[in-house]
Chains A and B, each alone.
Chain A
Amino acid sequence: MKGRRGDAATAGLNFDVVVVGAGHAGCEAALAAARMGQRVALVTLSVEKIALMPCNPAVGGVGKGQLTREVDALGGEQGRNTDRSFIQIKMLNTSKGPAVRALRAQADKRLYEDWMRHTIFRTPGLEVVQGEVASLDVSRETVRGLRLVDGRRLGARAVVLATGTFLRAKVVIGDRSYPAGRVGELPADHLSTSLRAVGLELGRFQSATPPRIDGRTIDPARMVPQPGEEGGLRFSHWQEPAARTQVPCYLTYTTPDTHDVVASHLHLSPLKSGSIGGRGPRYCPSIDRKIINFPDRTRHPVFVEPEGARTFEMYLQGLTTSLPVFVQEAIIRATPGLENARLVRPGYAVEYDYIIPQQLKLSLEYKHMQGLFSAGQINGTSGYEEAAAQGLMAGINAALSARGEPPVVLTRDQAYIGVLIDDLVTKGVDEPYRMFTSRAEYRLILRHDNADERLSAMGHALGLISDAQLEQVQRKQTLIEEGSLALASAQVRPSQASDEALESLGTAPLTETQSAAQLLRRPQLLFDDVVRLLDATARDRLGGLPSDVAEQLAIRAQYDGYIERQMAEIRRHKATEGTLIPRGLDFHSLEGLTVEAKDKLARLQPETLGQASRIAGVSPADVSVLMIHLHRRQADS
């Protein structure tokens, strides 16, 4: 392709949106923009490696699963793609309340990639381009397109960077270290240099992955099988569950022998030798780190997880390490059930540049570069779900920007996606960011089970959710409202029958007449138990409700009071959250702000008063002062 530079102006190479990187962020971004009617190019280093899972072969988990459900409710792909390719699925936290339940699925990695590639190629308006992006084309703080290493130039009205761990990346195993985006892949050094050249600030993080072994060489008898859950669990709201065969994972534990192996080779650990820099995620410690930090623990769990139905490779969750390969082998063999295991791919660590995310607006567009967006691990996060969530939003907003329309932003009270992005761009990161439910202040409202109710109207307005899908959600909502009224009005009088029924379910008999809604608050009673206590008319109205509606009614009853409290909290913050701060406001000229607040505000340029209030160093008094000034400006104009 050399010498094609002259073709730069060719219409065929001009796009509305160009997405760089076909990882989990890039795929969502490209699909969303194309589905919104844009002409999209998805540029990636290798078409073989679309939606590759370089780490854990799993989607979901507590906090992350909520993100995937939200992506699905907005018309994204991750949920559906997982449903088509999982080899095990289960609901987590079933012993806790609904707000913290979440799905986790074990994907067949290969199938996951194949389905995503299939969807991408079949999406109209979306072109896949293999190549390495070398630099951005910018003029007057606006992105115009980009150049590939082979000389091609792609014109674009908006660009989404989703290059994951590839920027100036370096792989480390033991004392060996060499430039690579992932093991066996080239790093993206040119792009990193180009980003610095246009003024972006970059930081350095690291991440690591455990070794993979040959599944035929393990001894399942010495481990605890961890089966999936039957019953049609699925991530996607939108399609009937197709039958899938599930396979078990296995749980084993390290022993003092394993720890001895690690301890006696710690001097070879990149942690100690200093051959790796950058901060790594604390929630994903290597086995070296666990043994250094928790010397008293006599065992650590190791989950042995199949990587797919057509491979024998298994993933050793819990044994992340970048110790030299011979030590990795010794560690594995010292672990029960893995005594004869054969190492297929060694674990390794990768060190890479990320972009300091406070340079982004809430739309994921750069504050100082119009039309440039970024999403995924490049923004300092880790995980497929975090990547997909940002990719979807960046793709949507790149499409809107290409059309000259204002962006959409999810708030902290609407979605985990809103929490994720607000945290990133407002507070920044000091380790790779992962979602936890504890990060969401409105956790009881942002549930796995109501993502559709929260977000599908927005997805529909954007053209990512069909009329039929929206109607499905609206029907459910209507039934919930009706059911909720019926529950409040249906009365149960104390009687011998009700006494006996309640006592047999392990709860106290009634002392006075109560509504069905009140009874449902008792933790011992399920929805159906309460329905059985009702008179015939009420039983008819409530008994026939679909199970997802009954579930919502039970949740409302269970969280009664707490949900109202959170709603009141949200209302209380509406005024601040909804007050926009005009771009380019000269904070230094505002009377009454502290010097520290002025500096922080001027540097971060928050978009709303709510965002300003979450900046460290900006006090409630500063927020009040700012509110007064904004009010005055508004009235002046």
Chain B
Amino acid sequence: MAVGDTIVALSTAAGAGAIGIVRMSGPEAVAIAAGVFRPVDGSDLAGSESHRVRYGHVLDPSNGRAVDEALVLLMRAPATYTREDVVEVHCHGGSAAQRAVLRLLIAQGARPAEPGEFTKRAFLAGRIDLAQAESVAGLVRARSASALRAAMRQLEGGLSDRIRDLRSRMIQVLARLEVGIDFSDEDVDEVDRPQASAQLQEIERDLRGLLETALLGRALEQGVRTAIVGRPNVGKSSLLNALLMRERAIVSEVPGTTRDTVEELAEIAGIPLHLVDTAGLRSSHDHLERLGIERSRRAVEQADLVLAVIDLSEGVTSADEELLAGLPGGRVILVGNKCDLAPVSARARAGARAPGDLLGSPCAVSALTGEGLDLLRDAIQNAVVGDGGLHLEEPLLATERQRLLAEEAVRGLESARRVLDAGLADELVCEDVRSSIQALGSITGEDLMPDLLDEIFHRFCIGK
């Protein structure tokens, strides 16, 4: 099954510093990489031997400026994961540079990969045992579920409304053009091209604004979204502070201290984490506390990873059990806190009572003394990039994908205006506007045709 095109994605690398990998696979991978990468020895990447690392600079071919220093690993088919040519660009300049490189490669013709697509290609190429098909399917599902969660987070705060609004304005322009085509034998006026062009320009301006503000601002929030949850007073806020290594959240011996979620970025073993400390979960009559608890639940829903905290000095209580049962399977690490207060036997008992669907074995830690935190860090790293883990290889991509789609929409609008202004045929303008609408539709998950027909019949009195 020849898939044909070349795909590209960011991947989160564990370990040393802030090196991010941009990985590309497909027939054009080498050519595309060679177009933007200059090895320091001045040679051409395309002539490079397989499975060799080259050092050099990534350049933007449109202006010749260097984007980042990078190591490039070139692997030729078929001895690769996907049995296609694979190129990995290891960026030095952190996630901003990584995204810049990604965009360059896309501009050169690579296509953003779907969640789990590398693994899917490896499977289709026969690199993964057929017996594993079930788990590959599960993995594709897990990746897209995590991508979906990330996308939902991104679209919160009115952003999705703004995208929907832009999309429906585009549909209005398209409807006008399509009416002129499909109902031209009825009494419809010619399309006012300068007006259509002006409308498209306005939409384009707003979309660019959105890209610059909302989408860019939010890019900072990227990372593996990790919620810390548990009953009141088990030490969630203390754990957050311990992982951040500074006193970010208020800690007190009064249960119900944390009322609103506290969010902070952290890096653990090179993995960007977006930590969310939450209000302790319990039934409460206090209005404010109930609101906080509601937020905690949403934080869990949106999280890629959940740290479920229990208090080892109390063991696993029935309230803990109830709480654990309500957490989503497959993305929970159980953390037994206050191990400094509990005898070793209590830890074993807690481990034995832990529910089945956990990532790895439970960790015993003390947020107070720091004991066991290294093990917890290892467990997090393993959960994110390990074999049996969350498969969050592309958590960045979900949001990056939206950016790219929005950029594609901008390009479609630009092209539509050029075609309009050059006096070319309406159906060509439609092609470009459609591709823009489809790009935004992929963000919001909406289908063009029903919306277009609704718009046409709602706004135009046509039909004989």
| A and B associate | yes
Q: Which residues of A contact B (CB under 8 A)?
A: 56, 61-63, 92-93, 95-97, 99-100, 104, 251, 253, 281-285, 290, 293-294, 297, 300-301, 303, 317-318, 320, 436-439, 443-444, 523, 558-559, 562, 565, 571-572, 575, 590-594, 616, 619-621, 624-625, 627-629, 631-632, 635-636
Q: A438-B178, A621-B140 are in contact. Are A96 and B461 (CB under 8 A)?
A: no
Please determine whether A92 and B184 come into contact, CB atoms closer than 8 angstroms.
Answer: yes
Please determine whether B123 and A437 come into contact, CB atoms closer than 8 angstroms.
Answer: no
The 16 sampled A-B contact pairs (Cβ below 8 Å) are A62-B181, A63-B182, A92-B184, A97-B425, A97-B427, A100-B182, A253-B187, A281-B463, A284-B463, A301-B464, A320-B464, A439-B449, A443-B431, A565-B431, A571-B4, A624-B144
Give Cα A501–Cα B116 distance, bound, in whole angstroms: 57
Does B136 have its Cβ within 8 Å of any Cβ on chain A? yes
Does B407 have its Cβ within 8 Å of any Cβ on chain A? no
Please determine whether B137 and A572 come into contact, CB atoms closer than 8 angstroms.
Answer: no
Please determine whether B183 and A624 come into contact, CB atoms closer than 8 angstroms.
Answer: no
Does B340 have its Cβ within 8 Å of any Cβ on chain A? no
Does B424 have its Cβ within 8 Å of any Cβ on chain A? yes
Q: Which of A56, A282, A443, A619 contacts B427 (CB 8 A)?
A: A443
B145: chain A residues at CB < 8 Å are 621
Please determine whether B137 and A575 come into contact, CB atoms closer than 8 angstroms.
Answer: no
Q: Which of A61, A251, A283, A624 contacts B140 (CB 8 A)?
A: A624
Give Cα A96–Cα B1 distance, bound, in whole angstroms: 40
A97: chain B residues at CB < 8 Å are 425-428
Please determine whether B120 and A627 come into contact, CB atoms closer than 8 angstroms.
Answer: yes
Please determine whether A438 and B452 come into contact, CB atoms closer than 8 angstroms.
Answer: yes
CB distance from B16 to the nearest CB of A (A): 32
Give Cα A562–Cα B419 distance, bound, in whole angstroms: 12
Closest residue on chain A to residue B179 by CB atoms: A438
Please determine whether A56 and B464 come into contact, CB atoms closer than 8 angstroms.
Answer: yes
- Interface digits, B155-179 against A, CB 8 Å rule (1 contact, 0 not)? 0000000000000000000000010
A621: chain B residues at CB < 8 Å are 114-116, 140-141, 144-145
Give the size of the chain B interface in residues (CB under 8 angstroms): 51
CB distance from B457 to the nearest CB of A (A): 4
B137: chain A residues at CB < 8 Å are 590-592, 625, 628-629
List B1-59 residues whose CB lies under 8 Å from chain A: 1-5
Please determine whether A523 and B464 come into contact, CB atoms closer than 8 angstroms.
Answer: no
Give Cα A565–Cα B183 distance, bound, in whole angstroms: 26
Q: Which of B124, B144, B426 contacts A631 (CB 8 A)?
A: B124
Q: Which residues of B contact A (CB under 8 A)?
A: 1-5, 114-117, 120, 123-124, 130, 133-134, 136-138, 140-141, 144-145, 178, 180-187, 190, 422-428, 430-431, 445, 447, 449, 452-453, 457, 461-464
Q: Which of A281, A297, A437, A523 contacts B181 (CB 8 A)?
A: A437
CB distance from B82 to the nearest CB of A (A): 14
Please determine whether B184 and A592 come into contact, CB atoms closer than 8 angstroms.
Answer: no
A628: chain B residues at CB < 8 Å are 120, 123-124, 133, 136-137, 140
B186: chain A residues at CB < 8 Å are 301
A100: chain B residues at CB < 8 Å are 181-182, 426-427
A627: chain B residues at CB < 8 Å are 120, 124
Please determine whether A632 and B427 come into contact, CB atoms closer than 8 angstroms.
Answer: no
Q: A558-B425, A592-B138 are in contact. Are A96 and B181 (CB under 8 A)?
A: yes
Closest residue on chain B to residue A635 by CB atoms: B130
B182: chain A residues at CB < 8 Å are 62-63, 100, 436-438
CB distance from B300 to the nearest CB of A (A): 20
Give Cα A523–Cα B425 distance, bound, in whole angstroms: 9
Please determine whether A96 and B463 come into contact, CB atoms closer than 8 angstroms.
Answer: no
Q: Which of B2, B3, B423, B425 contacts A96 (CB 8 A)?
A: B425
CB distance from B186 to the nearest CB of A (A): 7
CB distance from A251 to the nearest CB of B (A): 8
Q: Which of B180, B190, B461 contacts A294 (CB 8 A)?
A: B461
Most chain-A CB neighbours within 10 Å: which of B117, B141, B182? B182
Q: A62-B185, A628-B123 are in contact. Are A575 and B1 (CB under 8 A)?
A: yes
Q: Which of A99, A439, A444, A631 contacts B123 (CB 8 A)?
A: A631
Closest residue on chain A to residue B114 by CB atoms: A620
Q: Which of A318, A593, A616 contacts B464 (CB 8 A)?
A: A318
B461: chain A residues at CB < 8 Å are 285, 290, 293-294, 297, 300
Please determine whether B187 and A283 come into contact, CB atoms closer than 8 angstroms.
Answer: no
Closest residue on chain B to residue A594 by CB atoms: B141
Give Cα A318–Cα B145 distance, bound, in whole angstroms: 51
CB distance from A552 to the nearest CB of B (A): 16
Most chain-A CB neighbours within 10 Å: which of B1, B445, B452? B1
